[in-house]
Amino acid sequence: MYTIHGALASPYSMKMRAALRYRRITHVWSHGGHAQQIAAQKVKAPVIPVIEYPDGSFHNDSTPLLYDLETRHAARSIVPEDEGSAFLAHLIEDFADEWLTKAMFGYRWLEEVDQVQMSRWLSFDAMKGGGLDNSQKAAEVFRDRQVGRMGIVGCTAENFALIENSVRRVLRALEDHVVDEHWLFGSRPSLAEFGLFGQISQLGVDPTAQTMMRRDFPYTLRWLLHVDDASGIEGQWDRPQAALRPVVRLILAEIGRVYSPFLIANAAAFEAGEEMFRIEVGGLPYEQGTFKYQLKCLSDLRARYAALSLATRERIDPVLREANCLEMLA
């Protein structure tokens, strides 16, 4: 029995819960204020979700967790059997975790209507009682803390035009796809869908983002509920030589458009000892402080790409080149 110590408003908690549900791995969902306490006490980086393993150990960081569960449980894998598809799925999942999360954070904390509702809801979730006055006082403290972090994670008003345009392109690609079929690499979900789901699940809840999704991307909004519990899905992976679905190519193009220059600029700034970096995409600016974790992401992507067989790279390189993703992998 695993226990997920997380939160309904945590995209990575929702990602892990959906993945365990699909894989039919026996678990308990335990959400509330205690999850942050466990994170502070039991793991190196104090972030949720924290997964308590059957042996009593505690672990976090959603992507390594997904891969560790792959080594422990063979059934209903979320990593495509073909190594080329597996790499593309990982690339999309990484993009969701590290770039689309900025849309989640920005929609939640830039506008007052979202700040008020979500800080109150998050305090309600954490406290699970204790009275409305206490909950709302805690909400104000939490709101101030989160709004104060906006610049650190790059979710400023100046940056948000690029972030919003980017997530809308991803949502449009999904909206056109999910009305025909639900999954990206076959008739079963991969880690890519769970990465996308985690971040977009929050857009389906927060006031401004949910209004946007109901108006412009209603079937993607409904699709979220399908991904949230896909335990009844039975399916197959696509054959290695099968043509990629348009939605995959469109998301890869978005990775090449914004995420690749973001990672490259962050790495260059870090190497030069600079505290800030700036990119411009389509005339829209983006600026933030250098972030060490993204160096790890870029290094991991390059290592995974380098480990691919020559035949696989020859097969997927044209797709990556067309999407402007090869430069960051070299």
Residue 50's SS3 state is strand
Query: CB–CB of 160/205 below 8 Å?
Result: no
Confidence check: pLDDT of 153 > 90: no
- For the chain, give the percent of residues with pLDDT over 70: 100
| pLDDT, tens digit (0-9, with 9 covering 90-100), for 229-244 | 999 999 999 999 999 9
Of all residues in the chain, the percent with pLDDT exceeding 90 is 97
pLDDT band at 330 (very low <50, low <70, confident <90, very high): confident
- Mean pLDDT, residues 105-132 taken together: 95
* Average pLDDT rounded to a whole number, residues 32-47: 95
pLDDT band at residue 205, thresholds of 50, 70 and 90? very high
Using CA atoms of 100, 102, 107, 111 in order, give the dihedral in degrees to the nearest 10.
-170
254 closest CA partner among 153, 174, 191: 174
Specify the pLDDT at position 231.
Answer: 98
Kindly report whether the global pTM for this prediction surpasses the value 0.95.
yes
Assigned token pair, 6: 């997380």
The pLDDT value given to residue 149: 86
Give residue-wise pLDDT tens across range 269-285: 999 999 999 999 999 99
Pairing of strands 284-289, 27-31: unpaired
Residue with tokens 């800080």: 119
